[in-house]
Amino acid sequence: MRKRILTLFAFLAWAACFALLPASAFAAGIGTGAEITASNAAYFGRYPQTLAGTSPPGGVSGVDYIQAADNSSAGGGAQKYYSRDPIQWRVLQNSGGKLFLLSEKNLDARPYNNAFAKVTWETCTIRAWLNNESGFLGSAFRAEERGAIADTTVSNPDNPDFGTPGGNATTDRIFFLSIQEATNGTYFADAAARIAVNTAYAATRNVVMRAADYWWLRSPGIRANEGYVAAQVTWYGNIYSRGNPMSLNDVTSRPAFFLDLSSVLFTSDASGANGKSSVSVGNLAVATAPTGDVKLTIEDSSQTLTVGTSARQQDVPTLSFPYSNATTGAGQYISCVLTDNNDNDRLKYYGRLTASATSASANGNLSIPLAGVADGAYTLKIFSEKANGDNLTDFCSAPVAMTLTVSGGRGAVKIFGGTPDDGAPTESGGGCDAGAGIFAPAGTAVLLAGIIATRRTRKRKEKYFANVASSKRDGQLSYISADTASIEMRFKRGSEIK
């Protein structure tokens, strides 16, 4: 056999070329949601908004666009196409683990109540439309997004100017603001802050529409017409507490809801240079608080990922995990985040570890280098992720979590939350050197410095390697081939390997 000469240091330099770049080299606006304020806006869901013309645009009907009549005075009822764009929401409040959100624009126009009948917010038809999966709720939000919308006990106080009873409290997911909420100085500094413009779709729902327009409040109007009129915000931002007839179909809808942050894995800049899309595959990015509009990443039960094994990883510069059952397809990745256990679980790092676009990438191995990661105690979460692009919600699998302690660019994993590989050494012991690090199954063609360990299963004895990727200790260099044959060469620190 012809001998090859390779210095240990040259080998390690070669191997480093294929690792993730240091965390300090990249930054992205990513957080847990706790950092969001009223200075941010949030994108969540999709709804018809932009006029796309008289011919079908690209994409899928009902998902990317719809066809609807243009009922404006200029449209004359002609059928046109409207793009289903991401919905921008104004953040009114971030409190108690929930975001209070109000649509930035007027999204639709329809009557408060379809029939001329005495109703309250509890019994009106627009409340049913807002909260029905065949109405706004189902049209604007995917099932996974709907799971993040909180059930809210909505009080219905009396009209503060006329004393008109507001009716019973309701439990809603989507609702309109009350007069009291629309006049809350924390939410709106003045009348100008209440002005809302129509989307192109909303502006074509009726003949008489404006650029900015009236929008419904849920509060009742004047007592003399109790049950037949509802309060509104005018096109110039004032509160019209006397109200207008509930049957009007040229008053717009500006929905509001509470988003439960416990359903959100993390938030990120919705677009631009600091967005998630700026983090290329193979890079670990330092997470900085989002600076502008944000988007969400939430769990989706259709996203899957299995991460193994439960073997202890101690004092290693690069973590490595075998994985399987990853969801594959366009925009699919296997990603990770690190949250700081000593800083209120603040999200500190995000990485797209590998793309999983094809079925061949459903199984493989992941590497997470710790160079540039600050010393500390972290929770490492690994998950499959569907990236949908700027301003759109991303979806992920339930994260596989573990505790990670980093010191001097080297890490130790404990409390592993993945799927144990049958018979693999665990943290409590079982067939490996205490400092041997991470184990990978035979059949993985990898050339790394390490200490050989073995395990026995019920069927066979298998050979494993432990990745030290370091010349700090004497040991062996082992190449484990697909047929489980191995060539083992002993070395001492700084020596040549032949």
Q: Which two tokens stand for residue 153?
A: 């006990």
Q: Which two tokens stand for residue 404?
A: 């990670």
Question: Can you tell me the distance from the alpha carbon of 439 to that of 432, in angstroms, rounded to the nearest whole number?
Answer: 9
More reliable by pLDDT, 195 or 482:
195
**CA gyration radius, the chain:** 29
Indicate the average pLDDT of the chain. Answer: 80
Please report, for the chain, the start and end positions of each structural domain, with discontinuous segments joined by +: 6-33+261-497, 106-253
Give the helix/strand (H/E) hosting 295. strand 294-299
- For the purposes of burial, counting CB atoms within 10 Å of the CB of 331, is it exposed (0-12), middle (13-18) or buried (19 or more)? middle
Give 165-197 pLDDT, tens digit per residue.
999 999 999 999 999 999 999 999 999 999 999
Q: Are 10 and 67 in contact (CB under 8 A)?
A: no
Q: Are 110 and 215 in contact (CB under 8 A)?
A: no
Tell me the average pLDDT across 447-460. 34
Tell me the average pLDDT across 36-49. 94
Which pLDDT band, with edges at 50, 70 and 90, does 463 fall under?
A: very low
More reliable by pLDDT, 95 or 444:
95
Q: Which pLDDT score is estimated for 27?
A: 57
Tell me the average pLDDT across 37-56. 95
Tell me which residue has tokens 């009922």. Answer: 71
Q: Are 354 and 364 in contact (CB under 8 A)?
A: yes
Tell me the average pLDDT across 288-312. 85
3-state secondary structure of 153: strand
Which pLDDT band, with edges at 50, 70 and 90, does 9 fall under?
A: very low
Start-to-end CA distance of the chain, whole Å, equals: 11
Tell me the average pLDDT across 382-407. 94
**pLDDT over 50 at 358, yes or no:** yes
**pLDDT over 60 at 328, yes or no:** yes
Task: Check whether the bond before 457 is cis (ω within 30° of 0).
Answer: no
Q: Which pLDDT score is estimated for 28?
A: 63
Q: Report pTM.
A: 0.79
Phi, psi (rounded to 5 degrees) for 149: -90, 120
Q: Which pLDDT score is estimated for 12?
A: 33
| pLDDT cut 90: percent of the chain above it | 61
Dihedral sign, Cα of residue 324, residue 327, residue 328, residue 334: negative
Residue 1 has what DSSP assignment?
-
Degrees, nearest 5: CA angle 366-368-370: 165
More reliable by pLDDT, 235 or 287:
235
Tell me the average pLDDT across 53-73. 94
Give 95-151 pLDDT, tens digit per residue.
999 999 999 999 999 999 999 899 999 999 999 999 999 999 999 999 999 999 999
Q: Which pLDDT score is estimated for 100?
A: 98
